[in-house]
A and B are shown apart, each in its own frame.
Chain A
């Protein structure tokens, strides 16, 4: 199982203009990395109808999708690099650590069940040293905390009784690490007269794709497609709070799965703020937002930028009276999901992270706003700034009424 036939048409548009490699966050901190141009269209061109050509530096690709966004010829470069990751994993195998990291859902279930112990252990220096030694996960790397009272445990509504129906895909992070984000989403929808249903769901597959586990990721994609399409068929809109899961459903599922079902699901998927913005434009938004005299810095995750929907978080937050928010206009955070947890990638992760936090608007802000839990993890590692999800801020504004 190598490249998908439908991908072949796309790489031939490549003019070798370098836009992808120049903009690639990893290429900007590593000259060892082959870069998207070379590992995407060029390698594809070379190996078509020929043998497999592996390039170990593909391990450095984070699947952030900046290449897709910057390509002037509309090539989905990251699909090519994702499949090269699979090829590489099949050639040389996958580290035990990477298999564990790619199973975010499995880790989430386990870690949240023993939450107090997990969180305490992850803060113990000797334990982390052992982990660094055995698992090659740097001892100094910050880990998100796990919650025993996870969202799955406490929210069981599977059917919506309101006129507008929302099927919520929470994702592993809001389920196991930040149930407050999921709670806030449910509340904000409630303020807008929408009852949220939470269909059966698995990890979106992004950590698997990023670790070359294409087959496992596709299995998860298929189960999510089946589960959520049955809701779409009943008139539900699929709304999500995690930018990476959202991008996966919008772009990766149709790209990797190449099925009509994946495409049909993608057409009904919305980022939470994008959805609220639609309500606002239709005049359906509950606009009784109370003033918040906060000064926030917005950080746009790569997987948010990749959705091509502008800046819905700031569009919504700017509706709050008195609220000040400025885009940090920063590049990739360097956490990049599982990437930043790996010892051999840690220096790249830190180099990118240091650039990100070197921001005037962040320094002058009360807190940072971002959609991505992994970007938040990098902020937690590098700064003392509090980080909030835009939905948490909106909830606060609604609740002050």
Chain B
């Protein structure tokens, strides 16, 4: 019997699991796969593809029963958590920051990891590619960046990094290699040589693919900073190291805190009695198992996450197999089921991409009720009652 069962281990699922654990709940996460953080950039956008800050767009959030106060609280909570797990995030929902992507576009985001620095309007920029990392092409990044920031003085360089491999390598492979001090030192020497050959002066900022170390990212950034100058990661096509660091850190923390992970398991049914869900049935290749619960949080990521499927007759619920609306929520709401993140449709998005900030706040809005412990005193601070 769990107090809280969460379906999905994307950002919404992992954050909810951690917060429930902080409130001493017995928590389980049921996940079909590794979650969609892996496909992300690691940025926490306010409203995807929009440059509006919270003051300009809060009417969209407030429609979803999330108060401005709660957004601020949830962002603060997220930042504190990220500090605790050694992956600090910077930025604000009130003043968005311009960051560069792996395609060279500049977008405004709310929160970003410390491997990223906002992109300036003026100054000397060096875009650094690594041979073997085909997803990040410095000249292509430059072309796009120049459209967005014509006053920048941009140079490019590609450095030898991998000497052959058995597979197509990704930013994550480069990040893991960068964790090694010697590999890093060799890389810095090659980069300096390339810069000397191409007569590139020390830039104000270097743009890298998202590969600046997996566990030792602080050391990688420090070493680059000390020997050449400031750096930023530009996350692009997955897998980005920024995203994998985020997933790994949250997952690791949740496991350490005692969250139980039922992985490679798919929920196929929810048992409902008297308008309350009491257990879910999950299955893999073998036998179904029943997991009893008091509260169910659906964080299955909607259409992109696989929790919902668009079929000819409309939306189909792949998670609980219950009748759902075109927004992805239950036709007959059930008191102890909560839909968070992209599991249901956001008012601003036809793409069903919710953005990190909405995911953080909707996750934070789940009240961990004491369904059968009504007499127990509740810590007022911990519960945000969304009447």
- What is the interface of chain A, defined by CB distance below 8 A to chain B? 17-19, 21-23, 27-28, 30-35, 37-38, 55, 57, 68-74, 76, 250-251, 254-255, 263, 266-269, 281, 305-306, 308-311, 314-315, 326-329, 361
Contact = CB atoms under 8 A, between A and B. Distances in A.
Contact of A31 (B32, B166, B251, B285): B166
B286 A19 contact: no
Interface stretch (B196-204, B253-261, B350-358, B366-374): B253-261
A255 B286 CA distance: 10
B166 A308 contact: no
A267 to B, nearest CB: 4
Scoring B39, B172, B253, B284 by chain A CB atoms within 10 A of each residue's CB, the highest score goes to: B284
A312 to B, nearest CB: 9
Nearest to A253: B286
Contact of B166 (A28, A34, A314, A315): A34
Given A31-B166, A34-B166, A254-B286, A17 B264 contact: no
Contacts of B264: 68-69, 74, 306, 308
A251 B285 CA distance: 6
A18 B169 CA distance: 10
Contacts of B263: 69-70, 305-306, 308
B69 to A, nearest CB: 34
A311 B36 CA distance: 23
Contacts of B170: 18, 21-22
B256 A22 contact: no
Given A19-B34, A70-B34, A31 B167 contact: yes
B100 to A, nearest CB: 22
Interface in B22-41: 28, 32-36, 38-39
Given A76-B285, A305-B263, A327 B172 contact: no
A57 B168 CA distance: 14
| Shortest 8 CB-CB contacts between residues of A and residues of B | A72-B33, A329-B255, A310-B260, A70-B34, A308-B265, A266-B286, A31-B165, A267-B287
A369 to B, nearest CB: 14
B309 interface: no
B32 A266 contact: no
A31 B169 contact: yes
Interface residues of B, number: 44
A328 B252 CA distance: 9
Contacts of A70: 33-34, 263
A310 B261 contact: yes
A18 B286 contact: no
Contacts of B266: 74
A301 to B, nearest CB: 13
17 contacts: A21-B170, A22-B38, A31-B177, A34-B166, A38-B166, A69-B264, A74-B264, A255-B285, A305-B261, A305-B263, A306-B263, A308-B282, A310-B260, A311-B260, A328-B256, A329-B252, A329-B256
A327 B258 CA distance: 7
Scoring A31, A57, A74 by chain B CB atoms within 10 A of each residue's CB, the highest score goes to: A31
Nearest to B132: A31
A23 B38 CA distance: 10
B79 interface: no
Contacts of B239: 18-19, 22
Nearest to A265: B286
B68 interface: no
A68 B32 CA distance: 9
Contacts of B251: 329
B14 interface: no
Given A68-B264, A70-B33, A72-B33, A19 B166 contact: no
Interface string B254-279: 01101011111110000000000000
B244 interface: yes
Given A23-B34, A70-B263, A308-B284, 17 more contacts: A18-B239, A21-B170, A22-B38, A22-B244, A31-B165, A57-B166, A72-B32, A72-B33, A73-B33, A76-B285, A250-B285, A267-B286, A308-B282, A310-B260, A310-B261, A327-B255, A361-B256
B118 interface: no
Nearest to B251: A329
A28 B256 contact: no
Contact of A33 (B167, B177, B253, B256): B167
B48 interface: no
B261 A309 contact: no
Contacts of A305: 261, 263
Given A32-B166, A309-B289, A326 B34 contact: no
A28 B176 contact: yes
Contacts of A73: 33, 306
Given A57-B166, A250-B286, A72 B262 contact: no
Contacts of B162: 31
B173 interface: yes
A310 B28 contact: yes
A254 B285 contact: yes
Contacts of B177: 31
B98 interface: no
B250 to A, nearest CB: 11
A363 to B, nearest CB: 14
A388 B261 CA distance: 22
A315 B170 CA distance: 38
A32 B165 contact: yes
Contacts of B166: 30-35, 38, 55, 57
B120 interface: no
Contacts of B258: 314, 326-327
Interface in B149-182: 162, 165-170, 172-173, 176-177
